[in-house]
Amino acid sequence: MDVTIPTIILLGGFVLLLLLRVPITFSLATASIATAIYLHIPLMAIVQQMVQGVKSFSLLAIPFFIIAGEMMARGGIAEKIINLANVLVGRVRGGLGMVNVVDSMLFGGISGSAVADVASTGVIIIPMMTKNGYDNDFSVAITVTSATQGIIIPPSHNMIIYSVAAGGVSVGRLFLGGYIPGILLGISLAIIVYILAVKRNYPKGRKYSLKEGIAIAIDAFWGLFVAIIIIVGVVAGVFTATESAAVAAVYAFIITFFVYKQIPLKEFRGILYSTLKTLTMVMTLIATASSFSWLMAYLRIPAMATELLLSITDNKYMLLFLVNVLLLFLGMIMDMAPLILIVTPILYPVLIGKFGMSPIHFGIMLMINLAIGLCTPPVGSALFVGCAVGKISIEKATKAMIPFYIAMVATLFLVTYVPEITMFLPNLIMPGQ
């Protein structure tokens, strides 16, 4: 069977619809349906693949992660974590910039979402930084770029999506693999913050007494314990990822409404509504991307991509460089979830099948690439939210982000070429899994 025309319909149609600014879910579905009609494949087969794509026990973790993050974001944890970060790093030059990085590191471990991080903490810390003499574009730039740590530092529902797309990679090992790269990313951003703070003479924060520090830490601990429940539960084998997410959601409900009590119980209805909207977008993306991926496999596109990449070079390091460039480009023009589902079946056979790369290492490399995409134009969702919160143009924010982009890309390539950074904790704590 000549697959040239159906491949053009599938991939070309998808790209064309994206260029026409058709929502990505409809682009995936339309391209899949058009290809199926051309190949005389019953449309019910496409529907079955959509259902199959979301029929996974692991994916049940996603709504629980989302609702737990929503409750903690609205329930005052963002402000408490900012206070804790201020105690830890606020006293150095450019302290509030450092606070921004550490805050995202801690809050990311709760929300698992860069956009949620920007929306929740940005409304607090961006005005705070501007009031204390920081340039507004700098404040937005560090808020948006540091928020990407939420994608890499677990729990992250995108890791769940990758686990499913890769055929059942250990979620516990993925979670462990994200810690050191996520912290390394935070350190690289903090270095840029310090350099710019010294150059621009940004202020230091005040010192806190031991008593104040302990009180703030205790106050923030109840919120941070959500991440501990998830990670320890999964790694220790007490819970599956789905079970730990459910337990975390119940815990978040208790902490939000009965411990912190910053929002009334009636707000829970709005939280459920917001969760449902997010979940609908995520699950429809997964469903349509699943049918799209099935057609790619049917047309042998992953095999052809493997042959194409190997025809360019058979050097592992050069291939990793090309893959990173490709992912960075795709991350600029597509959302994260569908990209994970589309590129995983294409690149997995090359990097894991041919070159023996660890699925955990590839997963974290993929997360960092696509996390960078969230803060790059033209479709970076975290960038858009940050600009809206900071009330500045995308052009101005993007220009201010250039030093931070450099730090993020440097971290990406370090993680890519030094697999031990990713694999140390999984091999230490969960060996042989």
- Looking at residue 35, its pLDDT comes to 95
Nearest to 103 by CA among 93, 116, 218: 116
Question: Quick one: 4 exposed, middle or buried, by C-beta within 10 A (0-12, 13-18, 19+)?
Answer: exposed
Measured between alpha carbons, how far is 148 from 370 in angstroms, rounded to an integer? Answer: 9
pLDDT at 199: 92
* pLDDT value of residue 73: 73
Say what the pLDDT of residue 324 is.
Answer: 93
Give pLDDT, residue 6. Answer: 92
The per-residue pLDDT for 108 is: 66
Read off the pTM. 0.84
Q: Are 84 and 216 in contact (CB under 8 A)?
A: yes
Q: Can you give the pLDDT at residue 410? A: 96
One digit per residue, the tens of pLDDT, for the chain of length 433 reads 678 899 999 989 998 998 888 888 899 999 999 999 999 999 999 999 999 888 877 788 888 888 887 887 777 777 788 888 888 887 888 888 888 888 888 876 666 677 777 877 788 888 888 888 899 999 999 999 998 888 898 878 888 889 988 888 888 899 899 999 999 999 999 999 999 999 999 888 778 888 888 998 888 888 788 778 877 887 777 888 788 888 888 988 988 898 888 889 899 999 899 888 888 888 888 888 889 889 988 888 888 887 888 888 888 899 999 999 989 988 887 778 888 888 898 898 889 988 889 999 999 999 999 889 888 887 778 888 888 888 888 889 999 999 999 999 999 999 999 999 999 999 998 886 5
Q: Is the peptide bond before 155 cis (omega within 30 degrees of 0)?
A: yes
Helix/strand/coil (H/E/C) assignment for every residue in 69-106: HHHHHHCCHHHHHHHHHHHHHCCCECHHHHHHHHHHHH
Q: Is the CB of residue 364 less than 8 Å from the CB of residue 422?
A: yes
Sign of CA dihedral 67, 72, 76, 82: negative
Q: Quick one: pLDDT at residue 419?
A: 95
Integer Cα distance of 78 and 72 in angstroms = 8
Question: How many CA within 13 A on the CB side of residue 223?
Answer: 32
